Amino acid sequence: MRIFIIWISCAYDPVRVLQTELRYSPKMMSDLLADIADTVLTLTAAERIVAITAVQTLWSGYGEIERYLLRGGEVDSVIVKRVNPPTSAHHPRGWHSDLSHQRKLRSYAVESHWYQEWSSRLSRQWSPLPHCYAVKSGNDGLFMVLEDLDQSGFPLRKERVSPTGIEACLSWLAHFHATFMGVTPEGLWPSGSYWHLQTRPDELAALDDPELRQAAAAIDLRLRSARFQSIIHGDAKLANFCFASNGNKVAAVDFQYVGGGCGMKDVAYFVGSCLSEQACEAQEKWLLDCYFHHLSAALKRLDSPFSGSEVEEEWRPLYAVAWTDFHRFIKGWSPGHWKIHSYSERLARTVVATLSAES
């Protein structure tokens, strides 16, 4: 990832900064960045913005995430997530369609709604996430001003994770799911996750696995018809967790695909994002035991009407179904992807055979 820094010597100069963003005219650049700058300074009571650093580009070039370094205010920095859809799509794997474009636009609207209406319901002790200072939208897109988790005790991003780190992430998910158990996801995705079947007809059509393709609707129905439903993160990969320096606590980011669903979708997706094929198989029982331990504890802590043992009884067998649901997507979306391996194929074959026998 290429990092650039734009230094501002005395006063904030939006035109100077925005001239680096060649897809916008100077006038659009000035108006957009001036609005962001004014919002940041007002919300943080900072004297000035001293630098802007690029954190990353949004998927398919739909915008930027930037860190605004501040002086003289209540915080030293904030994160700005700036969404400006491109005039032409450049999907890394070639999936260009109006459906794809509309799904992405909807995802940012959902994330905005999440931060404005839902995020405050989470305990920052058990499921930390960035505080949202503001969300603003206009003709040129939208931007969110968010807490900088690096400054709030979560400075680490990991590509490999220890058992302690895995447990921290599973604990975060368990408390998240416990908080929203039985809640209707108003204003969010009715079915959370970016691979949800109803939003991925093109990938299903491209799937070169007739048995899995035929079983896709039944797999989706099994997850949606579970008695216990919650709200899921929807993109709970390792890269979306920020770790404390000691590695035993995490905060989560990226809520574009948050919505209703069975918590096993988050758990299966998280496990597949950070463990090898061999580790997924060898540690499956421990991973699920760990998650359900934290889920039961969270439900008790919240004085929830839902029983941890009853949720586990239904959800534990759905782990393989949730894994197969994502496997269905990834196999159609990117047939050569590294996540397509014998463990995934074995789970999928078992799930498909079981559903076929029941029909």
Q: Could you tell me where the DSSP H helices lie in the chain?
A: 14-18, 26-44, 98-113, 163-179, 201-206, 210-224, 264-274, 277-282, 284-301, 308-315, 318-333, 342-358
**pLDDT score, position 62:** 87
110 and 166 Cβ atoms separated by less than 8 Å: no
Q: Where in the chain is the domain with CATH 3.90.1200.10?
A: 163-358
What's the whole-number mean pLDDT along residues 8-19? 33
E strand or H helix at 297, and its extent? helix 284-301
Q: How far apart are CA 21 and CA 140, in angstroms?
A: 14
98 and 81 Cβ atoms separated by less than 8 Å: no
Spatial neighbors of 345 by CB under 8 A, at least 6 apart, are 327
Domain over 5-148 is classified CATH 3.40.50.300: no
Identify which has the larger pLDDT, 19 or 44: 44
Q: How far apart are CA 105 and CA 141, in angstroms?
A: 9
Q: List Cα–Cα distances, 274 to 100, 150, 160, 269, in angstroms.
A: 26, 22, 7, 9
Residue appearing with tokens 């949720």: 311
- Is 60 exceeded by the pLDDT of residue 25? no
Residue 84: alpha-carbon gap to chain centroid: 19
Q: How far apart are CA 233 and CA 251, in angstroms?
A: 12
What's the whole-number mean pLDDT along residues 251-273? 98
- Residues 102-132 have pLDDT tens digits of 898 999 999 999 999 999 999 999 999 999 9
Would you tell me how many other CB atoms lie within 10 Å of the CB of residue 165? 21
- Residues 263-300 have pLDDT tens digits of 999 999 999 999 999 999 999 999 999 999 999 999 99
Pick the range with the lowest mean pLDDT from 49-63, 95-109, 126-140, 255-269: 95-109
309 and 322 Cβ atoms separated by less than 8 Å: no
E strand or H helix at 284, and its extent? helix 284-301
Q: Where in the chain is the domain with CATH 3.30.200.20?
A: 5-148
Beta strands in 84-172 (DSSP E): 132-138, 141-147
Q: How far apart are CA 328 and CA 325, in angstroms?
A: 5
Question: Please, which pLDDT band fits residue 12 given cuts at 50, 70 and 90?
Answer: very low
Q: Beta partners for 231?
A: 260
Domain over 163-358 is classified CATH 3.30.420.10: no
Identify which has the larger pLDDT, 314 or 58: 314
Instruction: Show the tokens assigned to 203.
Output: 């990938």
Q: Which residues of 291-324 are buried (b: 16+ CB within 10 A; e: fewer)?
A: bbbbbbbbbeeeebeeebeebbeebeebbbbbbb
Spatial neighbors of 198 by CB under 8 A, at least 6 apart, are 191, 220
Beta strands at 230-232 and 259-261: parallel, antiparallel or unpaired? antiparallel
Query: Is 10 buried (19+), middle (13-18) or exposed (0-12) by CB count in 10 A?
Result: exposed
* Of the candidates 185, 181, 66, the residue with the CA atom closest to the CA atom of residue 117: 185
Task: Kindly report the length of the chain.
Answer: 359
**pLDDT score, position 98:** 77
The DSSP code for 117 is I
82 and 36 Cβ atoms separated by less than 8 Å: yes
